[in-house]
Amino acid sequence: MSKLPIKIGKSLEKRKSTGSLRELKFSEDLVDFSSNDYLGFAGDKGIFDRSSQILKENLLLKTGSGGSRLLTGNHRLFAPAEELIAAYHKAEAALIFNSGYDANVGFFSAVPGRGDYILYDELIHASIRDGIGLSAAKAIKFRHNDVGDLQEKIRRLKNGISGEMYIVTESVFSMDGDTPDLHLLAAFAEEHNFHLVIDEAHAVGVNKAGLIAEENLEEKIFARIVTFGKALGAHGAAVLGSTELRDYLINFSRSFIYSTALAPHAVAAIIAAYENLQGEGISEIEKLRENIRFFKAEVSKRGCQKQFLESNSAIHCCIIPGNTGVKAASQSLAAAGFDVRPILSPTVPIGRERLRICLHSFNSKTEIEELLTALKGLL
């Protein structure tokens, strides 16, 4: 095997010496407070059986799609899946991508262009950042969830703006679990004719069709990104928007065009998950909401609120500064039977390292109590 270039070796060494080396681990048999499978759909037998039935009914007993959707990969499950997704989210159209990462990279590299501006929340997901990095538009970040700072940044630009303005945020932040003031953002974008783009990866399912739908803001949003690998327990993502936006992405979005389409079984799982979201899955949403309420009450009861970031979502973060400390805390919780992952710097800023606790519909109240008792002992 040929030797690693010196620069690469040094980067790895640095990760090791700062305690931030990422490693692949097998998920042990611990109580799940870590996965994004918020509603337990990934292991739901009903969804699995329904997916198999869809494949059989459509004579799609194949392991792969065979090509890009623009070539031979556009099998017959895509059209009904996209219609179902658009209808559920009250969008004019939906376009399925292979993942949320692909959807964000494909959208941001293709839609905002030279002369345009992208104003983005400083904590947006890496996939949006990577898409922005591929765009010729000028990108400026604003302080997390701070609409005042966003307005100030735009005010400073105002005379110089000739192109379009895109404002980008998430409805539930993946590493913080918090939510921006969506009404304020929507009103501001509407008033100035700016294009608001919202990533709903962690709101879909947890908040039924997402927070934009819950707040009746669908008409005011230029594009929504919904993903299927989290509460829907499947894989893939979709961009929701107008029919013209969909047509544009089919023509210009490179991660859509130059990649093999999702296999029939992946799309069948998406359809089955959306059906479940409107059927038996509703009770899972209620159980999850109850667990979120219970968790927050138990945190307060133990006097730990100060260590936690404010959140009404399924993601609750307990700040434990320093990579070493937060890793040790995660290991102690694992020894007590709980799977809670540490989020290290540089994924989050230095000093803001945290335990990211994901709540699920299937977590019992006893599990939540025991987890918080063990955590309180560590704090």
Ligand X SMILES: Cc1ncc(COP(=O)(O)O)c(C=O)c1O
Of all residues in the shown chain, the one whose CB is closest to ligand X is 100
Are the CB atoms for 195 and 189 separated by under 8 Å? yes
Nearer to ligand X, 128 or 320 (CB): 128
CB of 127 to ligand X, least distance (A): 5
Q: Mention every residue, 6+ apart, whose C-beta is less than 8 A from residue 247.
A: none
Are the CB atoms for 344 and 20 separated by under 8 Å? yes
User: Count of alpha carbons within 13 Å of 50, Cβ hemisphere only?
Assistant: 19
Q: Mention every residue, 6+ apart, whose C-beta is less than 8 A from residue 37.
A: 43, 230, 231, 233, 360
Gap between the Cα atoms of 311 and 302, Å rounded: 17
Gap between the Cα atoms of 250 and 30, Å rounded: 42
Phi, psi torsion values for 77, nearest 5 degrees: -85, -20
Nearer to ligand X, 187 or 257 (CB): 257
CB of 367 to ligand X, least distance (A): 24
Nearer to ligand X, 145 or 154 (CB): 145
**Among residues 286, 230, 283, 274, which one has the least CA distance to residue 50?**
274
CB of 175 to ligand X, least distance (A): 8
CB of 155 to ligand X, least distance (A): 28
**Among residues 283, 276, 256, which one has the least CA distance to residue 84?**
276
Nearer to ligand X, 343 or 368 (CB): 343
Nearer to ligand X, 69 or 125 (CB): 125
| Size of the chain in residues | 379
Nearer to ligand X, 221 or 237 (CB): 237
Interaction site with ligand X (CB under 6 A):
99-101, 104, 125, 127, 170, 174, 199, 201-202, 227, 229, 237
CB of 34 to ligand X, least distance (A): 13
Cα-Cα-Cα-Cα dihedral of 366, 360, 286, 217, to 10°?
Answer: 150
Nearer to ligand X, 154 or 288 (CB): 288
CB of 206 to ligand X, least distance (A): 12
CA of residue 194 relative to chain centroid, distance: 23
Nearer to ligand X, 127 or 311 (CB): 127
CB of 228 to ligand X, least distance (A): 7
CB of 225 to ligand X, least distance (A): 7
CA of residue 39 relative to chain centroid, distance: 15
The angle that helices 78-88 and 264-277 make with each other, rounded to 10 degrees, is 30
CB of 237 to ligand X, least distance (A): 5
Cα-Cα-Cα-Cα dihedral of 341, 316, 272, 98, to 10°?
Answer: -60
Are the CB atoms for 308 and 316 separated by under 8 Å? yes
Nearer to ligand X, 121 or 353 (CB): 121
